[in-house]
Structure 1
């Protein structure tokens, strides 16, 4: 997802309403240091330094909806206990962006997960929970709360951790509410089968859950495609979105081929709640009428940020913007290549039947004329290499005081342009060495040159290539820009 698309989507999701229904829990993290082993048993002794509590499960989905700029109606169950009071307090702290509609059931405890952490590693998790299905009056009140909360919502998210809240009656209430208000129903579940959810819009198993539910392997793309096809035979859901960790996600919709969406590799600090973040982002994007492809990219971006944070984390819009900018910087750095890597990339492109173009210049202060020139050059080929003069080479050509920007700055700015596929620095007076190494199919220079003046033009024509002269945007040049800056600086 590029920055412009992200910023547009963040504006569109602001204030959008999503209903979050499911197993509410409290996540408690106990942090400390381990420096010795207990004399009583071969176990570490944790010297506690602090502990924190936050909403987990469906509560974490709602927290993420709020953090991303939307509003959430949260329907869940708590017990008549101290942890239930904590849950109520945590929900109230999220108001008004989270509208808590919690049902109390004195006959069961509030789900509590306590994690003991030292040095960034979880040592132990202790769960207090009741997983039997909710029945009777509590179940009725959950269904009623869901119906009442659905007005104005475009998406209903069912977060089923198998703790008993998402019963058949609650599922039916979600589908009925969605039909009444024109919302989609998306299910994220730890269940062994997804058939019980009926004709919902989307179910979101992970690869192992898909494999278990269908009895088919789900490792490779081909295996996932077969398992998704089987899932759509077994379930009434209109679509299946499979999360596959580092392999990305795969989407299967009825009557359409399965599509695979790779993900950017990220360092994982703590995966707690990352699935909740992805569900919230997916639901919010769809609530804003974003295309499904865009919603998936948004969910991948948000969960990628979440795994880099400690605890059951939420993700803010500014963190998403920062992640996109960082990714683009990394991509730009990856486009700056040595001669050897340029040769390897060209060989790979040619094996794919792609047409390779080459141009060069100092590109000291990138301006509108450069951008238009490079866009035109890219239009004549499938992949464009830009040779850029080293600092010494620019100085030899332009004189003392040049370049204004050093080679690293110039190369990274060029690499950040969509029209540029590879940037290759060179130190010689001309790029002839790069041209001989790359053997481009098209050699491009500005129309201020005559074709027979283009360095390397005769070589390119000799091996069957062509020389193209790109139009020059009048009124834009680095020399003129420097002159204007000097004049303004002296004024």
Structure 2
């Protein structure tokens, strides 16, 4: 049974809370087409182009979720000077996201292109994904801009969300500087298999594969899950560990070393898990930024994540989506 009063209270309290999002800014490009025959050149389908669209991914998607849920958001990161960057900045502006912390470097913006195809009688299926963009560290000029912006502004925010997709922003040096600079803030971090480096955060948000890597083997039960969370908490000295378990729901290990698990939210079929981790990070960060206890914040994040997987593609979950989900309606 959903505690609707708790969700309404959280939605009211997170309204206008301010979050600084720092991370890898990605352009998620979707190309849609119709398959109409096999190629004679290779055993592959020929796809006739229909349409395309670009959506913010990575840290950009975290920011989009925060804005959609009613929070105020500034995004900090690095993009190129190309058309992908221009489109992302335009999207941020249309969604009232402050992009003053974004530096446009002389590089290719990180782009993940997904090609989806189908025919009249079938739904669109992803055929392949093509990744482009930075694979090494950015220029010193870019890092200097980002550092200066963070130094001048971070104290104005209620919380900081870190989105590390392993795309180059978080060099070891920059990450150490960032965590030292923002010490004492509510810093919530999501990272691709680098959680050991995130020392002293308010909370970390690993998924089941990432926490299994920390544990040393794939986690099979709740006892192993708690042991793995305790290990990560001890290594990083983080206050709480939020554990994303996909079809098994979401768990939170709090400061008192008590673990609480929430089953997956919703009874509808999963449409697409793309970006669900971003939604969970956004919802949890917004909730704790408003002073919500971590267990209630995890409860809220679990509902937001359940709403996201009902949607296809990299799309944010809004306050309206959450209210509809509370009433048992699809989004």
TM-score of the pair, normalised by structure 2 = 0.91
SS in 1 for 2:182: helix
Whether the 8 Å contact between 1:217 and 1:227 is mirrored in structure 2 is no
SS in 1 for 2:32: strand
Whether the 8 Å contact between 1:206 and 1:242 is mirrored in structure 2 is yes
Q: What CA distance in whole angstroms lies between the structure 1 residues aligned with 2:207 and 2:168?
A: 20
TM-score of the pair, normalised by structure 1 = 0.62
Bigger RCO (CA 8 Å, 6+ sep): 2
Whether the 8 Å contact between 1:216 and 1:227 is mirrored in structure 2 is no
2:286 is aligned to 284
Q: What CA distance in whole angstroms lies between the structure 2 residues aligned with 1:161 and 1:5?
A: 32
Query: Considering only CA atoms, is the larger Rg found in Structure 1 or Structure 2?
Result: 1
Q: 1:235-384, aligned counterparts within 5 Å?
A: 235-264=236-265, 265-326=267-328
Task: Summarize the Cα distance change of 1:139–1:319 in structure 2 as closer, same or farther, 3 Å threshold.
Answer: same
SS in 2 for 1:216: coil
Is 2:53 the partner of 1:85?
Answer: no
Whether the 8 Å contact between 1:62 and 1:98 is mirrored in structure 2 is no
Residues 322-358 of structure 1: CA distance to partner in whole angstroms, max 9, x if unpaired?
A: 111117x9xxxxxxxxxxxxxxxxxxxxxxxxxxxxx
Q: 1:398-409, aligned counterparts within 5 Å?
A: none
Q: If each structure's helix is expressed as a fraction of its own residues, which one has the higher value?
A: 1
Q: What CA distance in whole angstroms lies between the structure 2 residues aligned with 1:311 and 1:18?
A: 24
Task: Summarize the Cα distance change of 1:223–1:269 in structure 2 as closer, same or farther, 3 Å threshold.
Answer: same
Structure 1: gaps spanning 5 or more residues: 330-491
RMSD (CA atoms) = 2.0
2:196 is aligned to 195
2:67 is aligned to 66
1:54 is aligned to 55
Following superposition, the deviation at residue 176 of structure 1 comes to: 4.4
1:226 is aligned to 227
Q: What CA distance in whole angstroms lies between the structure 2 residues aligned with 1:211 and 1:87?
A: 34
1:167 corresponds, among 168, 171, 181, to 171
Q: What CA distance in whole angstroms lies between the structure 2 residues aligned with 1:190 and 1:219?
A: 21
Q: What CA distance in whole angstroms lies between the structure 2 residues aligned with 1:177 and 1:61?
A: 22
Structure 2: gaps spanning 5 or more residues: 118-122
Whether the 8 Å contact between 1:184 and 1:201 is mirrored in structure 2 is yes
Whether the 8 Å contact between 1:142 and 1:170 is mirrored in structure 2 is no
SS in 2 for 1:263: coil
Q: What CA distance in whole angstroms lies between the structure 2 residues aligned with 1:154 and 1:202?
A: 14
Task: Summarize the Cα distance change of 1:291–1:238 in structure 2 as closer, same or farther, 3 Å threshold.
Answer: closer
Following superposition, the deviation at residue 74 of structure 1 comes to: 0.1
SS in 2 for 1:151: helix
Whether the 8 Å contact between 1:31 and 1:117 is mirrored in structure 2 is yes
Following superposition, the deviation at residue 135 of structure 1 comes to: 4.9
Q: What CA distance in whole angstroms lies between the structure 1 residues aligned with 2:89 and 2:180?
A: 27
Whether the 8 Å contact between 2:59 and 2:75 is mirrored in structure 1 is yes
Whether the 8 Å contact between 1:120 and 1:269 is mirrored in structure 2 is no
Q: What CA distance in whole angstroms lies between the structure 2 residues aligned with 1:33 and 1:326?
A: 34
